[in-house]
């Protein structure tokens, strides 16, 4: 049985939450391996809506073990609130079904403040962060001054680590004309939150290795999308972590040889939140129609998403970088009723045709999409659960998309409800 990595193949918001939840029924363990509470997953189960940010989607399913890996940056206060919210929805959360990597980095209040200060100071050059401290926390991790989950176990030795991180941050705050942070106050905040986090602490790499050897099925759940990858995304309008499938190994402590299948979640059109290039963006009635029909508002931010036609050129690129073997095509029903559908199959850049999005920021802003026009369909696909339920023109659209992106469709999602899914190939059976 294959262990499966799920990654977004666009700019996030592709519908990973539902697909991960659908797959989690076949898994024993669900692992988050990067990002923080800037990610938002919405699950609809038996009419109940669950909104998750830090917790893996599997946590809402009885009998599944949810794991937050070392590649995640954790705001302990946000995590406690998320657990509280789910418990109010009758979801049991204890050490029996949640573990947190001891070597995961913590997001502190100073990270949130710095994130907001920088974004406000950037003006027109802002990146569009969620202001939740994700980037500054990753900076401290790389700068080797981060406070990690395991540091909460020894409050005495934590004091020296707080002094070290504040040497850096108070210098920044002085430069921004902001008041310095009190080491005593930060220590008191961490001492207060520690007992609420420490019951879940775990040596995750060891746990996953043991369970894998016992035959457990492991599902690795990515956040954001491949186009927001710090190396391979539309830099600098990206997140602060690697979002491609290779990060599943690094961000959880399991070797890459343990990964058997990579599933790319791909929306049947394209959306983006925040700033940055978007070659197929539609700032007209069609774009507005896609947004309204797809309820395109961010789970975490509430911001309206920018909408556009499906960009096969861009998706093909991300699928190759992420090593995707099959895609889950989501929100197909949003395309119902369009007389014609456009698919971007390449770009024109300075008078030349190109078959990928260039890495340079200026070139990304200048590319113009080359479209192929496909026939739409008038029938409804919402709730379809088999190929026989799909209109012929819809099937043609799917097959053409497969040709463009050079990867087969493994799953089709036709509504937010988990049962409204067409299985073409079970990733766990690879």
Active-site annotation, residues: 13, 41
Structure tokens at 143: 């700068």
Angle at 234 (CA atoms; ends 327, 16), nearest 5 degrees: 30
Angle at 58 (CA atoms; ends 57, 62), nearest 5 degrees: 140
430 CB-near residues (< 8 Å, 6+ apart): 2, 260, 261, 325
Spatial contact of 183 and 159, defined as CB atoms under 8 Å apart: yes
Beta bridge pairs of residue 266: 329
Give the separation between CA 10 and CA 229, rounded to whole angstroms: 10
Half-sphere exposure of 172 (CA within 13 A, CB side): 15
């Amino acid at each position: 049985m294959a262990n499966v990595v799920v990654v977004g193949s666009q700019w996030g918001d592709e519908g990973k939450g539902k697909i991960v939840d659908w797959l989690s029924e076949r898994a024993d363990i669900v692992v988050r391996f990067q990002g923080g509470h800037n990610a938002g997953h919405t699950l609809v189960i038996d009419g109940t809506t669950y909104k998750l940010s830090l917790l893996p989607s599997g946590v809402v399913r009885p009998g599944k073990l949810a794991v937050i890996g070392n590649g995640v940056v954790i705001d302990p206060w946000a995590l406690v609130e998320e657990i509280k919210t789910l418990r109010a929805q009758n979801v049991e959360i204890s050490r029996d079904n949640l573990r947190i990597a001891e070597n995961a980095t913590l997001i502190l209040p100073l990270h949130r403040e710095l994130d907001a200060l920088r974004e406000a100071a950037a003006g027109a050059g802002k990146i569009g962060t969620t202001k939740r401290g994700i980037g500054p926390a990753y900076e401290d991790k790389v700068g080797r001054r981060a406070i990690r989950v395991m540091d909460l176990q020894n409050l005495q030795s934590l004091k020296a680590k707080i002094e070290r991180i504040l040497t850096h941050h108070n210098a920044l705050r002085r430069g921004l004309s902001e008041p310095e942070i009190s080491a005593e106050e930060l220590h008191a905040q961490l001492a207060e939150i520690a007992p609420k986090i420490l019951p879940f602490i775990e040596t995750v790499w060891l746990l996953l290795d043991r369970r894998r050897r016992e035959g457990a099925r492991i599902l690795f759940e990515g956040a954001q999308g491949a186009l927001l990858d710090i190396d391979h995304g539309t830099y600098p309008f990206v997140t602060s972590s690697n979002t491609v499938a290779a990060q599943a190994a690094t961000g959880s402590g399991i070797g890459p040889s343990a990964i058997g299948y990579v599933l790319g979640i791909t929306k049947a059109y394209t959306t983006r939140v925040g700033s940055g290039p978007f070659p197929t963006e539609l700032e007209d009635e069609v774009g507005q129609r896609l947004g309204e029909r797809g309820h395109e508002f961010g789970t975490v931010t509430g911001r309206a998403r920018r909408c556009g036609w499906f960009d096969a050129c861009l998706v093909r690129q991300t699928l190759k970088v992420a090593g995707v073997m099959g895609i889950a095509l989501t929100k197909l029903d949003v395309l119902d009723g369009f007389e014609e559908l456009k698919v971007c199959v390449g770009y024109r850049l300075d008078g030349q045709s190109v078959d990928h999005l260039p890495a340079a920021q200026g070139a990304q802003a200048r590319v113009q999409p080359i479209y192929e026009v496909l026939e739409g369909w008038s029938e409804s696909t919402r709730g379809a659960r088999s190929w026989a339920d799909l209109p012929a023109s819809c099937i043609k659209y799917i097959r053409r998309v497969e040709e463009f992106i050079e990867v087969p469709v493994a799953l089709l999602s036709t509504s937010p409800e988990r049962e409204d899914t067409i299985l073409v190939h079970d990733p766990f059976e690879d």
